Amino acid sequence: MPEQATSYNLNLLSEENVKNNVLPYYGLESSEITQIKFKDTDKQRAVYKVSSPDKSYCLKKIYFSLEDLLFVYSAVEWLYRNGIKVPRILPTKSRSRFVNYSNMLFILTPWIDGEKCSYDNNDHVLASSVNLSKLHSCTRNFKPIDGSSDRTGFEDQYLSLQKHFQQMLLCSNLAFKHGDKFSKLFLQYFDTNILLAQTAVNIAATINNNNLNKCLCHLDYVNKNIIFDANKDIWLIDFDKCKLDYRVHDISYFLRRLLKRDNTRWDLELTLNTLDLYERTYPLNLDEYKSILVYLAFPQKFWKISRDYYNNISKCNKNSFITLLSKTCAKSDYQLQFIYGFTEYIEKKFNTKLV
């Protein structure tokens, strides 16, 4: 497994060092190299653009193990063979799919030129939903190659959200105890957010997980990883987080990122159009709709900001937390109205009552 970030690694990751010690494995030592992303955390990663006279490439220093890399390689190859446009991991001159330089793993893929998905462009959003449904449909029987890690999700929503719900109640007790500016803001919006949380928990308790379809999930299906090329074809990049999981995890993550923005703020019509196009390829059942509703109902940021504040109240920047909470709470009523509308839609669609 690659070692964790050190100052020694930081020097090794300079453009010059990478050019001299990694690119020769690909026969690209005469190419230009530019570092375009660097993240120096426990999961240290770096991304470079490699430009040769006729082609450009993306070189990544990955942060996970060789076994995880085999899983990611398997996922990309499976999708490629099933007509999903993905940048394949290219071989070295010796036919290896990675370079091990000073106990750090590097992979090379083609550089995908194009425009990232715009959440303000409905055509982009809807096309991305169709692409996601095709990805899920063609990976229902996905199996990684031998030697891959066991990358699986399948989290029980009810157990997870019940824990979060209890933490929100604990935060309310702390808010009454401290009575500071953050606490007063928290309590001002607590009723709306605890209603959202309670709704999520109540519906999650009724989900039959056996009815949730499993497949390969990208798990970072957001606009920066969805690229429209000059021909308007969609390319999906960055499979670092991919796992076998319930497909609703991918769908819900994509929708929440879309809906929490100001310009598409809890837009029910856009959500229903997005799901309608998804279902034309791969229909969703009642339990899957419940799961999506639960994911979108729970006030994730309200819970997380308040939890982090009270866990660090003696040493945090209180004004920063107040600003974060204020921005989040400004959308709480819109989220609640969205959940009412989405619940009504699901109940009519399946002729049932959810709670």
pLDDT in tens, 47-74: 999 999 999 999 999 999 999 999 999 9
pLDDT confidence tier of residue 9, bands split at 50, 70 and 90? low
pLDDT confidence tier of residue 1, bands split at 50, 70 and 90? very low
Question: What is the bridge-based pairing of β-strands 214-217 and 104-110?
Answer: unpaired
Our measurement of the distance from residue 218's CA atom to the centroid of its chain's CA atoms, rounded to an integer in Å, reads 7
7-111 and 122-350: identical CATH topology: no
What average pLDDT does the segment 146-172 reach? 97
Average per-residue pLDDT for the chain: 95
Give residue limits of the domains in the chain.
7-111, 122-350
Four-way CATH pick for 122-350: 3.30.465.10, 3.90.1200.10, 3.90.1170.50, 3.10.20.30: 3.90.1200.10
Our measurement of the distance from residue 295's CA atom to the centroid of its chain's CA atoms, rounded to an integer in Å, reads 13
pLDDT at 5 over 70: no
Q: Which fold has domain 7-111?
A: Phosphorylase Kinase; domain 1 (3.30.200)
To the nearest 10°, report the CA torsion of 182, 327, 323, 199. Answer: 30
38 beta partners: 46
pLDDT at 111 over 60: yes
pLDDT in tens, 206-257: 999 999 999 999 999 999 999 999 999 999 999 999 999 999 999 999 999 9
pLDDT in tens, 162-183: 999 999 999 999 999 999 999 9
pLDDT at 338 over 60: yes
Question: What is the bridge-based pairing of β-strands 243-246 and 214-217?
Answer: antiparallel
